[in-house]
Amino acid sequence: MTSRPVADLLVTLAEPTRLRILNCLSTAPLFVSDLSAILDQPDATVSAHMEVLESLGVVRTHPVVPYLLYTLAPLPGTRERLLRSVLDAVRADPASQADRAAALDRSRSRFETRVRRGAAGVGGAAVMNAS
């Protein structure tokens, strides 16, 4: 990207798949496999978008070995206001609402699955499945 962080963010937000990803992440932390299912896109496509978002500092990762859990990252000043404004603007869109509902459902089901498997793990080791 360029040395113009606000312009770079605007270009990123103008890409429909990336906007959908950020909309989903504004609701819940998600794995690539969750985003792939919600967006009906291959994992490789979603991963490529995540790399762009991560390079701009818009998302951050949290390792859940062997996977990465993605969340929105706090942005400095103007970029944070811009991102929040755009996400607020898409909240009324029915397709965006459906994406957020799917993100919340997948996040909740993943959490419940991990908790159940973790409680049943042998020797205290939790088995985690992000697909």
Assigned domain for 110 exists: yes
Q: Name the residue among 49, 56, 46, 54 with its Cα closest to residue 1.
A: 56
Q: What is the CATH number of the domain that holds 62?
A: 1.10.10.10
130 found inside a domain: no
Domain boundaries, position 64: 5-121
Residue 129: inside a domain: no
Number of domains present in the structure of the chain: 1
What's the full length of the chain, in residues?
131
Q: Is 31 helix (H, G, I), strand (E, B) or coil?
A: strand
Q: How far apart are CA 29 and CA 64, in angstroms?
A: 12
More confident residue, 37 or 3: 37
pLDDT exceeds 80 at position 33: yes
Determine, yes or no, domain membership for 108.
yes
Whole-number pLDDT of residue 31:
94
pLDDT at 70 over 60: yes
In a domain, 104, yes or no: yes
Q: Kindly tell me if the per-residue pLDDT of 39 is higher than 80.
A: yes
Q: Residue 128: inside a domain, yes or no?
A: no
| Residue 93 included in any domain | yes
Whether 125 has a pLDDT exceeding 60, the answer reads: no
In which band, very low, low, confident or very high, does the pLDDT at 1 lie, cut at 50, 70 and 90? low
Determine what percent of the chain is predicted with pLDDT higher than 70.
82
Q: Is the pLDDT assigned to residue 84 strictly greater than 70? A: yes
Whether the predicted pLDDT of 128 surpasses 50: no
The reply to whether 88 falls in a domain is yes
